Amino acid sequence: MIKVHIFRGGSGEITGFRVNGHAGLAESGNDVVCAAVSALTQTAVLGLKEVARVNPKIDIAPGRLCCERFRTTPSTRIILETMVLGLKNIEQGYSSYLLVEDKEV
């Protein structure tokens, strides 16, 4: 199962996120849940860097992506809330393979 933790500050803004695990729906290279989660989260990181022009701390390895320590702006809010919408939509159809949780920090 893939677990996504969305870290939120006291006012509800996203301050970072962490993705861990593999969906296990299909073998590596053919898993649509892993591919979708990777596409959404890595595109969000690109958006933070290239559109919002913030420099998040990124830790990426097989089965793991952590994105944190960036300046919150209107652009970062839009990028990250859109990522969360996509992830929660996938979770609705594949809840045995993906869990998305908000965590207050």
Provide the token pair at 43.
């595109």
pLDDT for res 27: 81
The CATH number assigned to the domain holding 71 equals 3.30.70.1490
Contact 62, 12 (CB under 8 A): no
Residue range(s) defining the domain that contains residue 73: 2-104
CA gap 40, 42 in Å, rounded: 6
Residue 89 has a pLDDT of: 98
Give the pLDDT confidence score for residue 77 in this predicted structure: 96
Check if the beta carbon of residue 93 is closer than 8 Å to that of residue 37. no
Domains identified in the chain, total number: 1
Q: What is the mean pLDDT of each run of 10 residues along the chain (105 residues)?
A: 96 96 86 95 97 96 93 95 98 97 94
**Residues in the chain, total:** 105
pTM for the model: 0.94
